[in-house]
Amino acid sequence: MTTTTTTRSHPAAPGTPADPGERGRLTVGDAAVERIAAHAATEVDGVGGSAYRLLGVAVGPEQAGADVRVGATVTGDAVALDVRLSVVYPMPVRRTADRVRAHLALRIRDLTGLTVTRVDVTVTALHHAARPEGRVR
């Protein structure tokens, strides 16, 4: 689903630029919101990606560098998110999920103007932070 905002008013006088709110409509699609949310989730400390799953079984590694997986449903000016991510051990899982919810609501509102009404977070794995590579000699 997508959201569409339409503003109608009298056209601007010739030679004058139209007010930004009068230029047309903005449609924000589910896929755009999903990409924004996936990126925004990685801005929260301790959050990593989720492996692709086939019939509920992880295909590939659960690691910090993988993409966070997000599903979005946009209805009017509201959006519901379903987020799958991993958490770096020993970060507190509940507190990390709460920070993700708050951060996504803020970033989605700031970047799209949509209101996040629900964020379901599924933590698919706990993993250790990436270890630094050995020293090059």
pLDDT tens, position by position, for the chain (137 residues)? 655 655 555 555 666 777 766 778 888 999 999 999 999 999 999 998 875 555 555 556 555 566 899 999 999 999 999 999 999 989 999 999 999 999 999 999 999 999 999 999 999 888 877 655 556 65
Instruction: Provide the whole-model pTM.
Output: 0.73
CATH of residue 34's domain is 3.30.70.1350
Helix (H, G, I), strand (E, B) or coil at 23: coil
* Residue 114 within any structural domain of the chain: yes
* Residue 63 within any structural domain of the chain: yes
What does the alpha-carbon distance between residue 8 and residue 21 come to, in Å, rounded to a whole number?
9
Structure tokens at 17: 């630029």
Q: How many domains does the chain have?
A: 1
